Structure formats: structure tokens, C-alpha cells
Homo-oligomer: A and B are copies of this chain.
């Protein structure tokens, strides 16, 4: 069952594969922000942030509009949800296994 474009999932998971980009997404999950605000916690150059933004944007996880010279950024929840759902599709199996694993670990500490 292929619900979403494999390529979109590639881009979404690839975008999640870097701590700066996950940090940006985490920050955005609490509300919109400018590029400068998103960049603040990280000690890399501005162009490095621009590149991360581009990867997030091309993955469809983030969108923005320019207000004056400030770029107002927001999460794109739909694409984010698709990544979540790929994992969720398999969660039943994994959870079955995890339940067994956790029982085992409880009984064999």
C-alpha cells in the first residue's frame, strides 16, 4: 500500500536527518518564526541556515512568506503528517514486537 509518493517521503525523512533541521522544525511547532530567529540557537553561518531552509522547503515541511525583509516561516503540517503516517503504518507490527521486547526486558533485567 503506497499512500504517498516515495520521493516525497525520501525528502521528508532526509530533511529530518539533521539536528539543525529538526531543531528548526521543533521551534516551528511552537509557532511561526523568522529565519534569524530559527538560526539563533545554532552556531553556523547564515548561508548554512539558508541551505537547511531550502532542504526543509523542498521537502514540503516548511513554507514561508516574505513580509518586508523578514521571511515568516511556518510548519507545513500535511507533509509532516505523511512522514508520521509512514511510521504509523508499520507501528502495529513494531508495537507487537516492542510489547514482547518490553515484557522480555521486564522479566530478564
Contacts and interface: CB of A to CB of B under 8 A. Distances in A.
A32 to B, nearest CB: 11
A29 B87 CA distance: 11
A42 interface: no
A62 interface: no
Interface string A68-109: 000000010110110110110011011001100100000000
A9 B13 contact: no
A75 B22 CA distance: 24
B14 A17 contact: yes
Interface string A16-32: 11110010011001100
Interface of A: 6-7, 9-11, 13-14, 16-19, 22, 25-26, 29-30, 75, 77-78, 80-81, 83-84, 86-87, 90-91, 93-94, 97-98, 101
